[in-house]
Structure 1
Amino acid sequence: MSAADQKTLKDAAMADIRLVEEILRRWDPIGVEPGIVAPADEYDSYAPHIVSMAKSGCTVKALAAHLEHLGSDTMGLGSSNELSRSHSLKFAAEILVALQPSNNSLKSDAAKPRTLG
């Protein structure tokens, strides 16, 4: 693999991580409003593993369970309830849709400069 191909893959992986970081800021299970009340990178450390799970083909339920685990166990919020499960399912689905290859190509196409004919 050429150096250019490696850079392209690395750039794509970083774009996926940044996308998930943005979604996690809205997920905000502890209500700290990253970037307002708490540091903007409050949940960023979770993004690489979430991207890895998504790229490995996990289901919405599996990703939602991971998000619930992050909230209840990692962040110490206690056992999840129906509201937190619903919240986790919503954001898990959003993450998986956002990371679909067809969505990534649309994002990269949108970032390309347009030329007038």
Structure 2
Amino acid sequence: MGQKLPPEQMELYTRIDEILFYKWDPIGISDGDWARDEYQSYLPHVFKLALENDTPEPIADYLTVITTENMGLSKAREHDLKIARLILEVKEGIAL
């Protein structure tokens, strides 16, 4: 990440990391910590999208691109929207 975040943003960053690993998990690796860093390369951009948006579509769009273009998996649009909504709920709960 390269920069020190305020505590509220650091909490959001950490929570998004957890959401991506445990809830989004398109390749099904969350049952073991051996691949804990698998989705962390996507984390900074998802975090940025969460800070910049109040609607789930931009986040879901990015998750869908990762799933289909980067991972070569089938589109799971409803799941990606569900995850994006969860990220925004967490953001609201932190009151950034």
How many pairs are equivalent?
A: 92
Closer, same or farther: CA 62–33 of 1 in aligned 2, 3 Å: same
Deviant stretches of 4+, over 6 Å: none
What corresponds to 1:43 in structure 2? 39
Aligned to 1:99: 91
**Structure 1 residue 42: deviation in Å?**
1.4
Aligned partners of 1:58 and 1:74: how far apart in 2? 25
Normalised by the length of structure 1, the TM-score is 0.67
Q: How has the CA–CA distance of structure 1 residues 8 and 22 changed in structure 2, closer, same or farther, with 3 Å as cutoff?
A: closer
- Residues 9-67 of structure 1: CA distance to partner in whole angstroms, max 9, x if unpaired? 2x333222111010001210111226x17411211221121111111125212211111
Q: Percent identity?
A: 35
Aligned to 1:87: 79
Deviation at 1:98, TM superposition (A): 0.5
**Which residue matches 1:29?**
26
Which has the bigger relative contact order, CA under 8 A and spacing at least 6? 2
Distance 1:39 1:72 in 2: 20
TM superposition score normalised by structure 2: 0.80
Mark the runs of 5 or more structure 1 residues left unpaired by the alignment. 1-6, 106-117
- Max radius of gyration: which structure? 1
The residue aligned with 1:20 is 16
Offset at 1:87? 0.7
d(CA) in 2 for partners of 1:12 and 1:58?
17
Residues 1:68 and 1:8: Cα distance change in structure 2 (over 3 Å):
closer
The 1:31–1:104 alpha-carbon spacing in structure 2 relative to 1, beyond 3 Å, is same
